[in-house]
């Protein structure tokens, strides 16, 4: 049982929460671990001791982080996902070739 963070209703017990990402931000991740070129030549085995497994080298990179996330009911999750999909479709408008654009413009002019 939880309270939907969008509609503020109490959701009945047994209903799964839906997490919806509302805001993200770009993030640059720093390299972690030791550079593989610096590890060469060192002995892996130490007498009488267990050798620790070394963590793999992570070269870092760029990505995104979640800034804000909402716990919502299934109905609100469907609404929010539809809104997010509509925004994504509006931002990435399909590229039309010149022939289609002229046909669309001609048909719009004919309707007026």
Q: Are 18 and 77 contacting, i.e. CB atoms less than 8 angstroms apart?
A: yes
Identify the pLDDT of residue 92.
74
Query: Where is pLDDT greater, at 30 or 51?
Result: 30
Per-residue pLDDT of 48-71, as tens digits, reads 666 666 667 778 889 999 999 999
Q: How far apart are CA 98 and CA 104, in angstroms?
A: 10
Per-residue pLDDT of 72-85, as tens digits, reads 999 999 999 999 88
What's the mean per-residue pLDDT of the chain?
79
Q: Are 29 and 62 contacting, i.e. CB atoms less than 8 angstroms apart?
A: yes
Q: How confident is the model at residue 88 (pLDDT cuts 50, 70, 90)?
A: confident
Q: Are 71 and 17 contacting, i.e. CB atoms less than 8 angstroms apart?
A: yes
């Amino acid at each position: 049982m939880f309270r939907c963070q969008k509609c503020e209703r109490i959701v009945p017990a047994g209903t799964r929460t839906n997490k919806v990402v509302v805001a993200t931000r770009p993030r640059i991740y720093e390299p972690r671990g030791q550079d593989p070129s610096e590890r060469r030549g060192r002995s892996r085995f130490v007498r009488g001791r267990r050798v620790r497994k070394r963590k793999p080298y992570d070269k870092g990179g760029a990505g995104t982080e979640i800034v804000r996330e909402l716990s919502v009911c299934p109905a609100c999750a469907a609404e929010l996902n539809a809104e997010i999909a509509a925004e994504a479709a509006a931002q990435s408008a399909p590229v039309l070739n010149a022939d289609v654009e002229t046909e669309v413009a001609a048909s719009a002019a004919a309707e007026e």
